Amino acid sequence: MPPFHLAFPVHDLAAARAFYGELLGCPEGRSSEDWVDFDFHGHQIVAHLAPDECRITQTSGVDGKNVPVRHFGLVLDMATWTALSERLTGKVDFIIEPYVRFAGESGEQATMFLSDPSGNAIELKAFANLDQLFEK
């Protein structure tokens, strides 16, 4: 699968480096005074300094939770998701705490939502059966 590229606004590059680089463990790539690249598990994400673009997003109901409409994230294997969930607990304020969504149904998945210091919502999830990623 080819890596994706995502650019997003941040209010402070130092805070983005601390969050993505130190907390999430994403190696830093190229950078300038206005942006910084991160290796997001093999995908290129770019934090652009644009404080006026940072804002709270709308939510949509999914499985009884208020999911941020504007978000990005990763589908991880269950062991990686579990380890990351344990590492982040107590270090971040979750938008949605780690839990299993659609338990016992097609598409069962572990998920958690958190936001970076600029309010960008991130979903990290893992499927009980990855073959069900696109199953209806």
* Domain ranges, ordered by start, for the chain: 5-53, 59-132
Compute the mean pLDDT over every residue in the chain, rounded to the nearest whole number. Answer: 94
In angstroms, what CA-CA distances link 30 with 3, 37, 73, 90? 16, 5, 21, 30
Please report the pLDDT score of residue 105 as a whole number. Answer: 86
pLDDT tens readout for residues 60-111: 999 899 999 999 999 999 999 999 999 999 999 999 999 999 888 888 899 9
Tokens 């069962």 belong to which residue?
A: 108
Q: Which of 25, 20, 70 is nearest to 46 (CA)?
A: 20
Dihedral of the alpha carbons of 134, 19, 116, 86, in degrees to the nearest 10: 60
Which of the following CATH numbers is that of domain 59-132: 3.20.20.80, 3.40.50.720, 3.10.180.10, 3.30.70.360?
3.10.180.10
pLDDT tens readout for residues 121-136: 999 999 988 888 887 7
Q: Kindly report the CATH class assigned to 5-53.
A: alpha beta
